[in-house]
Structure 1
Amino acid sequence: MNILFINSIGRNKFGGGEKWMVNAAASLLHKGHKVTLASKKNSRILQYAADKGVPTTVIEIRADISPLKTLKIARYLKQHSVDVMICNLNKDIRVAGLAARMAGNTVVLARHGMLLCSKKWKHKLSLTKLCDGIITNSKTIKQAYTGYGWFPQEFVKVIYNGIVIPDTVKPVDFSTRYPGKKIIYSAGRLAVQKGFIYLIEAAAILAAMRNDLIFVVSGEGKLEEELKTRIRETGLEDSFIFEGFTPDIYPYLKGCDLFVLASLFEGMPNVVMEAMALEKPVVATDVNGARELIRDGETGLIVPPADAEALAKAIASVIDDPVRLKSFGTAGKERVKEHFTISNMADLLEAYLIEKLEEKRAGK
């Protein structure tokens, strides 16, 4: 198959959805398919893809409607005989999906790593008329979309994220930087969705009772100054540290004692999967996909979103229990190896793409 991934995320944005696209592209390329990933010029996702050996091209989609861009993409699809196009954002479907309909032979799929579709007429129109299927990573998202009543039974396909479990990782030496301290790590865009304000509040609750915890966060975003202001207000300058954008978080995961996800909503949180793969215990909020990934009380703990007290209580309940931490980490790695490997994801994705392409060619 000739497969094109399109992701028009901002140049400096890079998260779990972008990592999924690159990993999926690389795995399909490894299986012998022709694969190209398209995004904005000089974007982080194109650089990340190039570093992984994935061929790239520049396609810039800036708005929901762009007749000139649609015509250009239609020509590209014809010239390159693209069989399947997998789109990231809703505007990618509207602009490139229309191009595919003009080109005539390309299967169009949307990849929704979180709830990107609401009961708006424009979502219904674009996803039912310009798209041949939706790939998601969570049964809860599939259930939500099924409830809209728009799609045929098998239109939304659940394919769990997969990751490559590294053979060796050199951990960040937190013991030198913070001797005698226990490291609680988190990562993600500094945006409202990621719930870092609640993690700060949880840190403040714990700091009132003890002084041996250091919170480290990898990420950048528009809320950075607001969050740093809140840290100063709560007196956490020495115990809540922002590391900035970190392209490879595995060394941080390897070096920490506990990983925490404080998000208000997610799809299937890749970063939790990565922490589990490195045998790290996890405390996570009860967001989409969390209960499909984490076994509460066995591989980690699940707490309500937007609840700093619950977050602090969960952290306190495990951080001083090395036996429980070890047990969570061991069980988590086994769960990832059984259900969330990149090879398993690639096999399921390849089979689904072949199925959709055969349906297209049969005129279904």
Structure 2
Amino acid sequence: MNILFINSIGKDKFGGGEKWMVNAASSLSARDHNVMLASKKNSRILQYAEKKGVKTYVIEIHSDISPFKTFQISRWLNKNKIDILICNLNKDVRVAGLAAKIAGTPVVLARHGMLLCSKKWKHKLTLTKLTDGIITNSNTIQKTYAGYGWFPTDFVKVIYNGIVIPEDVEQVDFQARFPGKKIIYSAGRLSEQKGFNYLIEAAQILRKKRNDLVFFVSGEGKLASILQKQVDDAGLRESFVFEGFAGDIFPYLKGCDLFVLASLFEGMPNVVMEAMAMAKPVVATDVNGARELMQDGKTGLIVPPSDPESMASAILGIIDDTLLLEEMGALGKQRVAQHFSMENMSENLEKHLREMLRGKKPSNDKRLEKKETVPSSPGQHAAKNIL
């Protein structure tokens, strides 16, 4: 199959959805498909994809409607005989999805790592007219979309995220920097969605009871200065640290004592999966996918969103129980290995894509075979500026 992933997220943004696309592209490439990933020039997702050996292209989509860009993409899709286009953002569907329909691309899919579709007419029009289906990562999102009454049965397909558990991770030595302290780690964009303001409030509650906890956050974003001011005003400068962006958080996860997710909404939170893969217990808010990924009380604790008191109480309830932390971490790692492996995700994704393409093409189409002749393409480690 000739597959193009397109993701027009801001060039400095990189989160779970972007990591999923790169991992999906890489795993499908390993299964002998011709896979490409397109995004904005010099974007983090393209840089990450190139490191993973994924073929990359530059496609700039800046608005919901762009007739000339749609025309350009349509010509390129046709020239490269793309079988399947997988779009990330709604504007990707509107511009590239329309281009695919013009080009006669057999299958167009939207990938929703969180609730990207609300009950608005433009979402209904976009997704029912320009795509053949939606891939999501949690049953809660599927059920929400089913409630809209727009989509046929099986239009929304749940494929759980997968993860490669890295070997030989060298953990960050937090004790060298914070001797005698217990490290509560979190990571994500510094945006309202991630709920770091509530995590700061939880830290403030706990600081009144003890002084041996350090909250350490990897991430950057538009709320950086606002959140830092909240930390300073709360007198937490020494015990709540914003470290900035980290391309690889596994060393931090391995070195911490507990991971906390404070998000207000998510899809299937990759960062929780990564924490569990590093055998760390998790305190997470009750967002989409959390209960499908975690086992409350076994691999960690689930608390209500926007509730710093509950979050502080959950942290306090387990942070001093070394045996419980180890048990929760071990069960979490085991759960990820059994149910959320990259191999499982790749197999389920490939099967779904084949089924979608089989429904659009004659059964003797050679592009459904495992090995295929692929069109000429640029080197795997340099993005080609095409559009």
Normalised to the residue count of structure 2, the TM-score between the two structures is 0.93
The answer (yes or no) to whether the contact 2:193–2:265 under 8 Å persists in 1 is: yes
In 2: Cα distance, 1:152 partner to 1:285 partner: 31
In the other structure, the counterpart of 1:112 is 112
Question: Residues 19-38 of structure 1: matches in 2 within 5 Å?
Answer: 19-38=19-38
1:207 correspondence with 2:207? yes
The answer (yes or no) to whether the contact 1:39–1:58 under 8 Å persists in 2 is: yes
Between 1 and 2, higher relative CO (CA 8 Å, sep ≥ 6) is seen in 2
RMSD: 0.8
1:362 CA drift (Å): 5.4
The answer (yes or no) to whether the contact 1:172–1:254 under 8 Å persists in 2 is: yes
Find the residue that maps to 1:231 and give its secondary structure. helix
Find the residue that maps to 1:361 and give its secondary structure. coil
After superposition, what is the alpha-carbon deviation per residue over 1:324-349, rounded to whole angstroms, capped at 9, x for unaligned? Answer: 10110000001001100001000000
1:318 CA drift (Å): 0.4
Matched to 2:302, the amino acid is I
In 1: Cα distance, 2:106 partner to 2:62 partner: 22
In the other structure, the counterpart of 1:347 is 347
Matched to 2:206, the amino acid is L
Find the residue that maps to 1:118 and give its secondary structure. coil
In 1: Cα distance, 2:321 partner to 2:362 partner: 59
Matched to 2:319, the amino acid is I
In the other structure, the counterpart of 2:186 is 186
In the other structure, the counterpart of 2:299 is 299
In the other structure, the counterpart of 1:5 is 5
The answer (yes or no) to whether the contact 2:85–2:105 under 8 Å persists in 1 is: no
The answer (yes or no) to whether the contact 1:105–1:360 under 8 Å persists in 2 is: no
Question: Residues 205-354 of structure 1: matches in 2 within 5 Å?
Answer: 205-354=205-354
1:15 CA drift (Å): 0.3
In the other structure, the counterpart of 1:49 is 49
In the other structure, the counterpart of 2:170 is 170
Find the residue that maps to 2:166 and give its secondary structure. coil
Matched to 1:153, the amino acid is T
1:105 CA drift (Å): 3.0
Find the residue that maps to 2:336 and give its secondary structure. helix
Find the residue that maps to 2:360 and give its secondary structure. helix
In 1: Cα distance, 2:106 partner to 2:188 partner: 34
The answer (yes or no) to whether the contact 2:106–2:361 under 8 Å persists in 1 is: no
In the other structure, the counterpart of 2:131 is 131
Structure 1 segments unaligned to the other structure (5+ residues): none
Question: Residues 60-79 of structure 1: matches in 2 within 5 Å?
Answer: 60-79=60-79
Percent of aligned positions that are identical: 69
1:168 CA drift (Å): 1.3
In 2: Cα distance, 1:36 partner to 1:293 partner: 29
Find the residue that maps to 2:160 and give its secondary structure. coil
In 2: Cα distance, 1:354 partner to 1:308 partner: 45
The answer (yes or no) to whether the contact 1:49–1:55 under 8 Å persists in 2 is: yes
In 2: Cα distance, 1:113 partner to 1:185 partner: 23
Matched to 2:189, the amino acid is R
In the other structure, the counterpart of 2:377 is none
The answer (yes or no) to whether the contact 1:77–1:106 under 8 Å persists in 2 is: no
In the other structure, the counterpart of 2:366 is none
Matched to 2:238, the amino acid is D
In 2: Cα distance, 1:168 partner to 1:85 partner: 36
The answer (yes or no) to whether the contact 2:5–2:85 under 8 Å persists in 1 is: yes
In the other structure, the counterpart of 1:17 is 17
In 2: Cα distance, 1:279 partner to 1:37 partner: 31
Matched to 1:106, the amino acid is P
Matched to 1:361, the amino acid is K
1:361 CA drift (Å): 1.6
The answer (yes or no) to whether the contact 2:174–2:256 under 8 Å persists in 1 is: yes
In the other structure, the counterpart of 1:94 is 94
1:360 CA drift (Å): 1.4
In the other structure, the counterpart of 1:82 is 82
Find the residue that maps to 1:295 and give its secondary structure. coil
The answer (yes or no) to whether the contact 1:160–1:340 under 8 Å persists in 2 is: yes
In the other structure, the counterpart of 1:149 is 149
In 1: Cα distance, 2:224 partner to 2:306 partner: 18
In 1: Cα distance, 2:104 partner to 2:330 partner: 50
1:87 CA drift (Å): 0.3
In the other structure, the counterpart of 2:360 is 360
Matched to 2:208, the amino acid is A
In 1: Cα distance, 2:361 partner to 2:151 partner: 20
